[in-house]
Amino acid sequence: MWDDVIEKVKNIIYRHEEKELTEGSEFYDVVYAILTDRWTKSSSPLHCLAHSLNPRYYSDTWLSAAPNRIPPHLDIKLSEERNKFLKRYFPSSEARTAVNIEFARFSGQMDIFGCPDSVEERGIMEPRMWWIVRGASATNLQKIALKLLSQPCSSSCCERNWSTYSFIHSIRRNKILPKRAEDLVFVHNNLRLLSRTNEHYK
């Protein structure tokens, strides 16, 4: 999908500059560097596991929408990053083997994951709902999938952090060094978290 985005951006830039795709473009090079940097930040083991556990990306509807799409378990880079996460999350080799067996059954559409309703619903149902309905036979994966696929895309955490920062680094207190301000924000946020264990908070 990311390759498709980059290709579309390239076509638009080259059309605007009235150049052939074989020619060089300084503007495109800058944009490409920004896009790849953004992709690298979002391509962490956690993101790769979340992508691998989304049933939509195994559905025929999604795979047939573009000629170069492949299911996540066939993508080498994605598999490497997913395995890194699983190794970190499940230090015990026995637990990791059990999870890998569950993932093989899920991605290979084996057993209950291969029944016609389960396969058809992969492209229709919202991923979290699909795991609630179809994931009972893979309890380890189901728990992880429900945690990862329930995460809303939101900047509220950043906004909250900036709000705290502006409270600490104000016009009156503008001589604080950035490192000192960061430390104060860190301490303030952690004190708030610790206060939740307090009886008065409850």
The whole-number pLDDT of residue 165 equals 80
The b/e string for 176-202 (b: 16+ C-beta within 10 A; e otherwise) is eeeeebeebbeeeeeeeeeeeeeeeee
Every domain of the chain and the residues it spans: 1-41, 43-149, 156-195
- In tens, the pLDDT along 161-172 reads 778 888 887 777
**Residue 191 reports pLDDT greater than 90:** no
Distance CA 180, CA 199 (A): 31
Distance CA 16, CA 5 (A): 17
- In tens, the pLDDT along 126-171 reads 999 999 999 999 999 999 999 998 877 666 777 777 788 888 877 7
**CB count in 10 Å sphere of residue 169:** 19
Query: Residue 121 in contact with residue 109, Cβ under 8 Å?
Result: no
